[in-house]
């Protein structure tokens, strides 16, 4: 697909079809954090296209990466503010972050402007950076500025993979580590994996970082992570990715109303 076609598609109103998946809070029977992402694009003919081939091109082109990221940020924040108002709740938006966007010299100002104009509190925004990705010094500085000066939350995703990026923990002030789903799949059948999960939780406590488990598909997995002391969990047992229309019903059922922390 040509660069110009993708640019027009990104800029076209309602061309991005957003989906969401909850991040459950253990021990509280509630969920106020939701990961929003582009699941499909609406083409010029109105047909829906899968997002992944388009996003592969976006990630390779700097200009497309910047355009996509800022458009998604504004759209996702607006949707979160609207849904929070309708549900009378304080929702936290979680967004996956492309390193090229974070490395932009105007990144902090762009995020600040978005939050100020939409009214979303900075502490209700969460950026997730995969440990598989690489980010330069400017990007690290920008993220730490958002975290330290504004209160935006930072998440390292895919933690514990073959490319575990421990140095990134020293460079960026993360609030949450998301354990790779491969550990969830093996922890109840492999004692060494189970003990590794416990060790990772202890490491996170030492660093004053919360843990989130990905890929929770069974009640047994849910209970194991809750017992170990994980803060949040995500997976099909909690809820599969859903449309924003479906999300509203989920939020009204499980999210805490305003006035709760």
- Its domain, for residue 56, covers 3-254
Report pLDDT for 45: 82
Report pLDDT for 2: 66
CATH number of the domain encompassing residue 245: 3.20.20.450
Q: Is residue 219 part of a domain?
A: yes
Q: Is residue 186 part of a domain?
A: yes
Contacts of 166 (CB under 8 A, 6+ apart): none
Which residue has tokens 């090229």?
100
Local confidence pLDDT in tens for the 261 residues of the chain: 667 777 877 777 778 999 999 999 999 888 999 999 999 998 878 899 999 999 999 988 899 999 999 999 999 999 999 999 999 999 999 999 999 999 999 999 999 999 999 999 999 999 999 988 889 999 999 999 999 999 999 999 999 886 667 888 889 999 999 999 999 999 999 999 999 999 999 999 999 999 999 999 999 999 999 999 999 999 999 999 999 999 999 999 999 876 444
Q: Is residue 234 part of a domain?
A: yes
**Contact (Cβ atoms closer than 8 angstroms) between residue 18 and residue 37:** yes
**Contact (Cβ atoms closer than 8 angstroms) between residue 155 and residue 212:** yes
What is the spatial distance between Cα 176 and Cα 229, in angstroms, rounded to a whole number? 13
Say how many domains are in the chain. 1
Per DSSP, the three-state class of 121 is coil
Q: What is the 3-state secondary structure (H, E, C) of 162-220?
A: CCCCHHHHHHCCCCEEEECHHHHHHCCCCHHHHHHHHHHHHHHHHCCCEEEECCCCCHH
Beta bridge partners of 32: none
Report pLDDT for 260: 45
**Contact (Cβ atoms closer than 8 angstroms) between residue 85 and residue 117:** no
Report pLDDT for 162: 66
Q: Is residue 229 part of a domain?
A: yes
Report pLDDT for 164: 65
What is the spatial distance between Cα 105 and Cα 145, in angstroms, rounded to a whole number? 12
Q: Is residue 260 part of a domain?
A: no
> What pTM does this model have?
0.93
Q: Is residue 259 part of a domain?
A: no
Contacts of 101 (CB under 8 A, 6+ apart): 65, 66, 69, 70, 107
Q: Is residue 69 part of a domain?
A: yes
Q: Is residue 261 part of a domain?
A: no
What is the spatial distance between Cα 144 and Cα 140, in angstroms, rounded to a whole number? 6
């Amino acid at each position: 697909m040509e660069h110009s076609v993708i640019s027009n598609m990104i800029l076209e109103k309602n061309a991005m079809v957003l989906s969401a998946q909850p991040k459950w809070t253990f021990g509280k029977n509630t969920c106020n954090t939701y990961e929003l992402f582009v699941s499909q694009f609406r083409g010029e003919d109105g047909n829906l296209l899968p997002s992944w081939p388009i996003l592969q091109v976006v990630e390779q082109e700097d200009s497309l990466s910047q355009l996509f990221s800022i458009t998604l940020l504004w759209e996702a924040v607006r949707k979160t503010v609207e849904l929070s108002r309708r549900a009378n709740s304080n929702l936290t938006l979680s967004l996956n972050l492309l390193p090229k966007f974070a490395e932009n010299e105007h990144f902090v100002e762009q995020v600040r402007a978005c939050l100020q104009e939409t009214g979303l509190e900075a502490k209700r925004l969460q950026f997730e950076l995969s440990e598989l990705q690489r980010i330069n010094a400017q990007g690290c500085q920008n993220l730490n500025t958002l975290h330290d000066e504004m209160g935006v939350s930072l998440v390292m995703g895919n933690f514990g993979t073959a490319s575990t990026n421990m140095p990134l923990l020293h460079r960026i002030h993360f609030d949450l580590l998301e354990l790779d789903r491969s550990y969830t799949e093996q922890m109840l059948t492999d004692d060494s994996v189970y003990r590794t999960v416990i060790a990772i939780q202890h490491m996170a406590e030492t660093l004053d970082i919360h843990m989130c488990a990905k890929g929770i598909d069974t009640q047994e997995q849910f209970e194991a992570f809750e017992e170990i002391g994980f803060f949040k969990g995500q997976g099909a047992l909690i809820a599969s990715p859903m449309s924003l229309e479906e999300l509203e019903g989920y939020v009204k059922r499980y999210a805490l109303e305003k006035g709760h922390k």
